[in-house]
């Protein structure tokens, strides 16, 4: 009997410790695991010089060269020579027309991959910043749930045809065993920069820890950027989070809340910059209201959905973009304007849509549906 009580007490202690740590770091489920930490934004070369990035994460050394992948339109890299005279890095996901100002810089573009070589000249620090091409009006495409194969490739090419400047990918690349590998190739060969949110199929995988492959090859689970005086927030809803306000997503929202407060302090009570939030799972399923489903295919945890909606409304979010549902929808989710663009696979139809957003500097984006024009032979795919 005493042994049984000791085991029970030990289990309760472990449970309480896990709950306490989870309150800070965040617990994800299913399967139950800690909220993944983001990839490093810094790297050290074999020659001794180091680089610290903003808006780009390290992918390690490939063919003797440090590689980074940008997850914002205008990343910067700060180099410290540490006695070295020369540095060379490759940065992926940079718009072909983006430019850098720096004396002595050699900059080679191959698609979205930029090879940067520069002399360090014994200086303590050199900072390079990529400048996204200035537009009178910016245009982007939003689409999710395309898998990693030819449907994904077509979605990216279609976005280019529609004169988009970049793509918001709404998650779910990995349905089939080889989707991640094929998806990584398609991302590298994309004609446009892609800023991607993690889907439930991209996060799950048991012992495989799919989210690690996602974070290395596609982007962070949570991030944000500004372009043309419009704010964009990428929020991770790939797996339920306990508690909703904790983990990396909670940290990002807390930091962004401070950004909005600073804007208020500086500019008064005028309108805040437009805020586009993109994620994978919507907070509600519009098909429930339409009587087409009895169980919602959205965030599983209602407390989490309610908290997120309340937080986004407090931040005066302009719109929420999501995938997960393999259809196209536009609806008002208890005050939160929501668009679902999840027809990336065009399953069984040639009438699927891709969402196009457009805005001038500081303007509220306007949205419209465009035909995805998926080739008939790609619409037969099933997962």
Name the band, by pLDDT with cuts 50, 70 and 90, for residue 275: very high
pLDDT number for residue 23: 52
- Give the β-pairing of 275-278 and 230-234: parallel
Statement: residue 160 has pLDDT above 60: yes
pLDDT number for residue 54: 98
- Residues 324-336 have pLDDT tens digits of 999 999 999 999 9
* Average pLDDT estimate for 286-292: 91
* Higher-confidence position of 102 and 367: 367
User: Considering the chain, what percentage of its residues have pLDDT values greater than 70?
Assistant: 91
Statement: residue 204 has pLDDT above 90: no
pLDDT number for residue 348: 79
If DSSP codes are grouped into helix, strand and coil, which group holds residue 12?
A: helix
Statement: residue 95 has pLDDT above 90: yes
What's the chain's average pLDDT?
91
pLDDT number for residue 11: 55
- Residues 135-156 have pLDDT tens digits of 999 999 999 999 999 999 999 9
- Residues 171-200 have pLDDT tens digits of 999 999 899 999 999 999 999 999 999 999
* Average pLDDT estimate for 91-114: 88
Quick one: which of 143, 273, 257 has its CA closest to 196? 143
Name the band, by pLDDT with cuts 50, 70 and 90, for residue 18: low
CA 321 to chain centre: 12
Both tokens of 162, joined, read 């529609």
If DSSP codes are grouped into helix, strand and coil, which group holds residue 254?
A: helix
Rounded Cα–Cα distance for residues 312 and 308 (Å) = 6
Name the band, by pLDDT with cuts 50, 70 and 90, for residue 102: confident
Both tokens of 196, joined, read 């991607």
* Average pLDDT estimate for 266-277: 93
* CB neighbour class for 6 (10 Å; exposed up to 12, middle 13-18, buried from 19): exposed
pLDDT number for residue 107: 84
pLDDT number for residue 304: 97
């Amino acid at each position: 009997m005493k042994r049984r009580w000791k085991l029970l007490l030990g289990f309760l202690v472990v449970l309480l410790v896990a709950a306490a740590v989870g309150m800070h770091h965040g617990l994800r489920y299913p399967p139950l695991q800690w909220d993944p930490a983001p990839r490093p934004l810094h790297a050290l070369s074999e020659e001794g010089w180091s680089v610290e990035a903003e808006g780009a994460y390290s992918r390690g050394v490939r063919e003797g060269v440090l590689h980074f992948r940008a997850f914002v339109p205008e990343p910067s890299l700060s180099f410290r020579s540490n006695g070295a005279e020369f540095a060379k890095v490759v940065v992926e996901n940079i718009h072909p027309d983006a430019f850098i100002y720096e004396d002595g810089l050699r900059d080679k573009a191959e698609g979205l991959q930029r090879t940067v070589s520069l002399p360090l000249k014994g200086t303590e620090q050199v900072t390079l910043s990529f400048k996204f091409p200035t537009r009178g009006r910016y245009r982007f495409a939003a689409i999710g749930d395309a898998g990693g194969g030819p449907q994904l490739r077509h979605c990216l090419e279609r976005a280019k045809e529609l004169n988009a400047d970049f793509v918001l990918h709404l998650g779910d690349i990995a349905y089939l065993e080889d989707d991640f590998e094929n998806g990584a190739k398609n991302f590298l060969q994309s004609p446009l920069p892609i800023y991607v949110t993690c889907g439930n199929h991209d996060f799950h995988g048991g012992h495989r820890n799919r989210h690690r492959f996602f974070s290395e090859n596609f982007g962070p689970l949570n991030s944000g950027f500004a372009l043309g005086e419009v704010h964009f927030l990428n929020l991770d809803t790939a797996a339920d989070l306990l508690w909703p306000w904790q983990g990396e997503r909670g940290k990002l929202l807390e930091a962004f809340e401070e950004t909005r407060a600073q804007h208020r302090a500086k500019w008064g009570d005028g309108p805040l910059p437009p805020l586009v939030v993109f994620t994978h799972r919507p907070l509600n399923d519009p098909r429930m209201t339409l009587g087409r489903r009895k169980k919602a295919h959205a965030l599983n945890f209602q407390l989490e959905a309610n908290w997120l909606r309340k937080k986004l409304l407090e931040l005066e979010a302009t719109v929420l973009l999501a995938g997960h549902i393999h259809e196209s929808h536009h609806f008002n989710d208890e005050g939160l304007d929501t668009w679902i663009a999840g027809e990336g696979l065009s399953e069984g139809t040639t009438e699927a849509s891709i969402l196009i957003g457009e805005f001038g500097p500081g303007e509220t984006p306007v949205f419209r549906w465009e035909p995805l024009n998926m080739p008939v032979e790609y619409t037969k795919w099933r997962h």
